[in-house]
Structure 1
């Protein structure tokens, strides 16, 4: 997910005055109106930048918590299926043991000395005694198997209870991160609404990204292989799609969602968050970036974009700004990853 952008030095790439306006833009038109009494912040652009960055960090945490919650739901569903099957197995074993007990009783399962005293036919007694011995051996084995199955069932139930508790904690974490994002964006809306009309107009123009004069010429930027080419083609197909926090396409994206969606079209599964995408491949110096590489921003890796050549990236910037091109040095680069 990306929001407000601040230019920072990045060796080997050109950045013009037009880029500065883009990286300072925010989404007044898409963010909506707030009461006119909202007081302007003394340094509105810096404050919006700070709020957007904080919201971006919370969004990546929201994505991570949501991804873990989804995985836990699948694990819990699978575990509940296993528990049901194991319980059925135990029930069947208990029925079999009951049948054995009944067979033993019908075969004369009483004290051997007493049985011998009352037996009219010693051979009949010996035959029945042999059958009882076989039943006892079989029952002992089945009892051990039943005990083992019951221990497994108890362990599975305990583990599933732990996963359910973790799932509930994850649900609360998702709600907390969502509330943080919404709080930061609401405050940004207030600040934007309190800005002078001329500043708001500049923000609106830049955030829409239309009629821009600095669209890059990427005709000579060749992808190093077919996978990178497929990912770039997908990212370009998303140009103009709206920024939607927590979204991974196809109708809207946040920053890491766009990268995951684009590389899925190349047959590569990227993790969901920008922090995890940072390590989804091998890292290269910025000076050696190739089209298709992931450019990760800020020391906390809270924003990610795709390098497309000629000093440009494609990314989902911030609320109100569509997927678009921007200079690679739009903010401090922390690493470059080649999936």
Structure 2
């Protein structure tokens, strides 16, 4: 009996244990969350499209500046005649009116002298011209062609036989060297640029030397002139020794086989002995590379007697070989041509006729006299 009770008790305990384990499993399964089901995205079966490769930016080649083609000699001479005829004709008309009078008394000859002096012909040339005219009219009588007589005598006065060629060629393979001098305000730097245009029109290779180093504007101005016609410009920092810049310019001309080197110098006041000595130094330094073949003195045609004083001083320092008269179109005082040639014994080789780039022309004695006569 006791054994039966014990067996029943053991079975009951086992049943309770089994039921407890089942209840624990149920509770445990309820406490856990079911992970969400994530659907896989649909597979794209379209073949991939390759993106176009980005093109590397193409650098634009710098546009070469358009070079100007300067005017040739013939068109410049045409302009010379036109411009001078429009501005200088008053002198000739006045002289012709006096010479055409029925009676040439002393008062008339004095008026002729006054007319010539007012035009800056100068005292000595005026007296010479009047004396020749009086002699001819006394011997030949009153000529029918007063203009022809006056033209002959004026032409002799201007000097038709003077050598007005620009010496721009060197020897032994070296370039010709043109040194341009003058006082401030005469138009020197502009003249250098215009001369380079004349030479480029003749198919010459040119180098410019910006030796006016104390005036930055002059250097930049010359650089602009050079760019317009494709001419190299040698320059230095502001305040550089002008002689060293001139030396380097001529050296480049020698090294590159240039035909002509033109050196612009600082404007000098004729009463500044130190500056004039410096100008002499520039010439001496240049000639270590190549001889100076031309020294051009730039004068303002409107300065009259003052221009003549300047010419004398410059000729003493650098042996001037030719004159450039600027602003000749703006004044009736063209007689300065005669006077400056007579004083220096060197010819006027170029004349400035206006502000245009090609308004610089070789001086032609016949065209000038014709312009004086109108």
What interval of TM-score do these two structures reach, taking the shorter chain for normalisation? under 0.3
- Look at both structures and tell me which one has the larger radius of gyration over its CA atoms: 2
- TM score, norm. by length of structure 1: 0.25
- TM score, norm. by length of structure 2: 0.23
Higher relative contact order (CA 8 A, sep 6+): 1
